[in-house]
Amino acid sequence: MGIRAAVLFACLVCLAALPEAAHAQWHQRADAIMGTRIYVELWDTNAVDGEASIDAVMAEMRRIDNLMSHYKPESELSQINAHAAERPVQVDPELFDLIKLSTHYSQITDGAFDITYASVGYLYNYPNHTKPSEAQIKAALPAVNWRNLQFDEAHHTVRFEHAGMRIDLGGIGKGYAVDRGIDILKKRGIQHAVVTAGGDSRIMGDHMGRPWLVAIRHPDDETKVVTRIPLSDAAMSTSGDYERFFDENGVRYHHIIDPHTGHSASKVRSATIIGPTATQTDGMSKTAFVLGPEKALEIINRMPEYDAVFVAPDGRVLYSNGLRPPEPRPAGAAESAAPGGATPDVGNPNQRVASPDAVAPKSAPK
pLDDT grade for 216, boundaries at 50, 70 and 90: very high
pLDDT confidence of residue 330: 64
Give the pTM: 0.84
pLDDT grade for 77, boundaries at 50, 70 and 90: very high
pLDDT grade for 347, boundaries at 50, 70 and 90: low
Contact 104, 111 (CB under 8 A): no
Residue 359 has pLDDT above 50, yes or no: no
Residue 203 has pLDDT above 90, yes or no: yes
pLDDT grade for 214, boundaries at 50, 70 and 90: confident
pLDDT confidence of residue 334: 54
> What does DSSP assign to residue 73?
T
Average pLDDT over all residues of the chain: 87
pLDDT confidence of residue 247: 94
Residue 1 has pLDDT above 80, yes or no: no
pLDDT confidence of residue 362: 38
Provide DSSP, 10-65.
HHHHHHHTS-GGGG-EEEEEEEEETTEEEEEEEEES-HHHHHHHHHHHHHHHHHHH
Measured CA to CA, the distance from residue 99 to residue 101 in angstroms comes to 5
Q: What angle do CA 138, 140, 142 make, to 5 degrees?
A: 85
Phi, psi of 220, rounded to the nearest 5 degrees = -105, -10
Contact 153, 271 (CB under 8 A): no
CA dihedral 354, 356, 360, 366 (to 10 degrees): 130
pLDDT confidence of residue 166: 98
Phi, psi of 313, rounded to the nearest 5 degrees = -60, -30
pLDDT grade for 333, boundaries at 50, 70 and 90: low
Superfamily of domain 24-68+173-327+341-353: ApbE-like domains (3.10.520.10)
pLDDT confidence of residue 6: 41
Measured CA to CA, the distance from residue 103 to residue 232 in angstroms comes to 29
- What residues have CB less than 8 Å from 328, skipping those under 6 apart? none
pLDDT grade for 208, boundaries at 50, 70 and 90: confident
Beta bridge partners of residue 253, listed in sequence order: 246
pLDDT confidence of residue 233: 97
% of the chain at pLDDT higher than 70 = 82
Residue 93 has pLDDT above 80, yes or no: yes
pLDDT confidence of residue 357: 30
Q: Is the dihedral of CA 155, 160, 165, 170 positive or negative?
A: negative
- What residues have CB less than 8 Å from 133, skipping those under 6 apart? none
pLDDT grade for 279, boundaries at 50, 70 and 90: very high
Provide DSSP, 131-151.
---HHHHHHHGGG--GGGEEE
Q: Which residue did the predictor score with more confidence, 193 or 21?
A: 193
CA dihedral 306, 166, 76, 94 (to 10 degrees): 30
Beta bridge partners of residue 132, listed in sequence order: none
Measured CA to CA, the distance from residue 360 to residue 243 in angstroms comes to 27
Residue 20 has pLDDT above 50, yes or no: no
Residue 13 has pLDDT above 90, yes or no: no
Q: What angle do CA 287, 285, 113 make, to 5 degrees?
A: 45
pLDDT confidence of residue 228: 87
pLDDT confidence of residue 4: 40
Which CA distances in Å does 101 have to 44, 151, 169, 279, 296? Answer: 34, 11, 11, 10, 20
Residues 107-136 pLDDT 10s: 999 999 999 999 999 999 999 999 999 999
Measured CA to CA, the distance from residue 215 to residue 226 in angstroms comes to 7
Which CA distances in Å does 311 have to 73, 105, 240, 342? Answer: 37, 22, 9, 27
CATH of domain 76-171: 1.10.3980.10
What are the sequence ranges of the domains in the chain?
A: 24-68+173-327+341-353, 76-171
pLDDT confidence of residue 215: 84
pLDDT confidence of residue 213: 87
pLDDT grade for 16, boundaries at 50, 70 and 90: very low
